[in-house]
Chain A
Amino acid sequence: MGAVTLSLVLAASACGGGSSTGGGSNDSPKTLTYWASNQGASIEIDKKVLQPELDKFEKKTGIKVKLEVVPWSDLLNRILTATTSGQGPDVLNIGNTWSASLQATGALLPWDAANFEKIGGKDRFVDSALGSTGVPGQDPAAVPLYSMAYALYYNKQIFADAGITEPPATWDELVADSKKIQATGKQAIGAEGANVSENIHHVFVFAKQHGADFFTADGKPAFTDDKIVEAVKQYVDLMAKDKVIPAGNAEYAQNQSVSDFAKGRNAMLLWQSAAANLTSQGMSEDAYGIAPVPVQSGTPGTGTQINSMVAGINLAVFKNTDNLDGATEFVKFMTSDEEQKILNTAYSSIPPVRTAQDDPAFNTPANAVLKDTLAKSAAPLPQVPDESQFETAVGTAVKELFADAAAGRPVTTESVRAKLEKAQQQMPAK
Chain B
Amino acid sequence: MTTTTARPAVREEPPGAAPAGAGRRTGRLRRIGLPYLLLLPALVLELLVHLVPMAIGIVMSFKQLTQFHIRDWGAAPWSGLDNYKVSVDFDAPVGEALLHSFFVTVAFTLLSVGLCWLIGTAAAVFMQDAFRGRGLLRTLFLVPYALPVYTAVITWVFMFQRDNGLINHVLHDQLHLTDEPSFWLIGDNSFWALLIVSVWKGWPFAFLIVMAGLQNIPGELYEAAALDGAGMWQQIRRITLPSLRPVNQVLVLVLFLWTFNDFNTPYVMFGKAAPEAADLISVHIYQSSFVTWNFGTGSAMSVLLLLFLLVVTGVHLAVTSRGRRTADA
**Looking at chain B, what size class is its interface with the partner chain?**
35 or more
Kindly supply a per-residue 1/0 record for chain A positions 54-82, scoring 1 wherever the CB is within 8 Å of any chain B CB and 0 otherwise: 00000000000000000000000100100
Complex: chain B residue closest to A195, CB-CB: B271
B51 to chain A, nearest CB (A): 11
B-contacting 9-mer, from A15-23, A43-51, A217-225, A293-301: A15-23
A86–B73 Cα distance when bound, in Å, is 11
Chain B residues with Cβ below 8 Å from A253 are 271
A196–B293 CB distance below 8 A: no
Chain B residues with Cβ below 8 Å from A425 are 92-94
Select which of A18, A250, A406 is within 8 A of B72 by beta carbon. Answer: A18
Judged by a CB distance under 8 angstroms, whether B276 is at the interface is: yes
Chain B residues with Cβ below 8 Å from A18 are 70-74
B155 to chain A, nearest CB (A): 14
A1–B48 CB distance below 8 A: no
Chain A residues with Cβ below 8 Å from B271 are 194, 253
Select which of A83, A250, A422, A426 is within 8 A of B292 by beta carbon. Answer: A426
Select which of A12, A86, A422 is within 8 A of B93 by beta carbon. Answer: A422
Chain A residues bordering chain B, tally (CB within 8 A): 45
Judged by a CB distance under 8 angstroms, whether A53 is at the interface is: no
B194 to chain A, nearest CB (A): 14
A21–B72 Cα distance when bound, in Å, is 9
Kindly supply a per-residue 1/0 record for chain A positions 76-110, scoring 1 wherever the CB is within 8 Å of any chain B CB and 0 otherwise: 01001001101000000000000001101111000
A341 to chain B, nearest CB (A): 35
Select which of B48, B70, B162, B290 is within 8 A of A248 by beta carbon. Answer: B162
Select which of B2, B67, B291 is within 8 A of A1 by beta carbon. Answer: B2
Given the known inter-chain contacts A250-B183, A407-B183, A426-B93, please indicate yes or no for A20 contacting B75, CB distance below 8 A: yes
A250–B72 Cα distance when bound, in Å, is 40
Chain B residues with Cβ below 8 Å from A396 are 273
A80–B292 CB distance below 8 A: no
Judged by a CB distance under 8 angstroms, whether A385 is at the interface is: yes
Judged by a CB distance under 8 angstroms, whether A399 is at the interface is: yes
B293–A389 CB distance below 8 A: yes
B71–A83 CB distance below 8 A: yes
Given the known inter-chain contacts A12-B48, A388-B293, please indicate yes or no for A83 contacting B74, CB distance below 8 A: no
A20–B69 Cα distance when bound, in Å, is 10
A106–B52 CB distance below 8 A: no
Select which of A1, A104, A107, A251 is within 8 A of B186 by beta carbon. Answer: A251
Chain A residues with Cβ below 8 Å from B101 are none
A295–B275 Cα distance when bound, in Å, is 31
Judged by a CB distance under 8 angstroms, whether A165 is at the interface is: no
* 201-240 of chain B: CB within 8 A of chain A: none
* 248-279 of chain A: CB within 8 A of chain B: 248, 250-251, 253
B74–A17 CB distance below 8 A: yes
Kindly supply a per-residue 1/0 record for chain A positions 1-45, scoring 1 wherever the CB is within 8 Å of any chain B CB and 0 otherwise: 100010011001000111010000000000000000000000000
B272–A392 CB distance below 8 A: yes
Kindly supply a per-residue 1/0 record for chain A positions 224-252, scoring 1 wherever the CB is within 8 Å of any chain B CB and 0 otherwise: 00000000000000000000001010110
B276–A400 CB distance below 8 A: yes
Complex: chain B residue closest to A422, CB-CB: B93
Select which of B40, B71, B272 is within 8 A of A20 by beta carbon. Answer: B71
Select which of B44, B56, B68, B272 is within 8 A of A105 by beta carbon. Answer: B68
Complex: chain B residue closest to A253, CB-CB: B271
Select which of B1, B75, B183, B273 is within 8 A of A392 by beta carbon. Answer: B273
Chain B residues with Cβ below 8 Å from A203 are none
The contact sample of 13 A-B pairs, CB cut-off 8 A, is A18-B73, A20-B72, A20-B75, A80-B70, A80-B290, A84-B73, A105-B70, A251-B162, A400-B275, A402-B186, A406-B183, A406-B187, A425-B93
Residues of B within 8 A of A (CB): 1-2, 40-41, 44, 48, 52, 56, 66-68, 70-75, 92-94, 97, 161-163, 181, 183, 185-187, 271-273, 275-276, 287, 290-294
Instruction: A83-B71, A107-B71, A392-B292 given; name 6 further pairs at CB < 8 Å.
Output: A20-B72, A84-B71, A392-B272, A393-B292, A426-B97, A428-B294
Residues of A within 8 A of B (CB): 1, 5, 8-9, 12, 16-18, 20, 77, 80, 83-84, 86, 101-102, 104-107, 193-194, 196, 246, 248, 250-251, 253, 385, 388-389, 392-393, 395-396, 399-400, 402-403, 406-407, 422, 425-426, 428
Report, nearest first, the 9 A-B pairs whose CB atoms are least far apart.
A20-B72, A425-B93, A403-B186, A248-B163, A396-B273, A389-B292, A251-B185, A392-B291, A251-B186
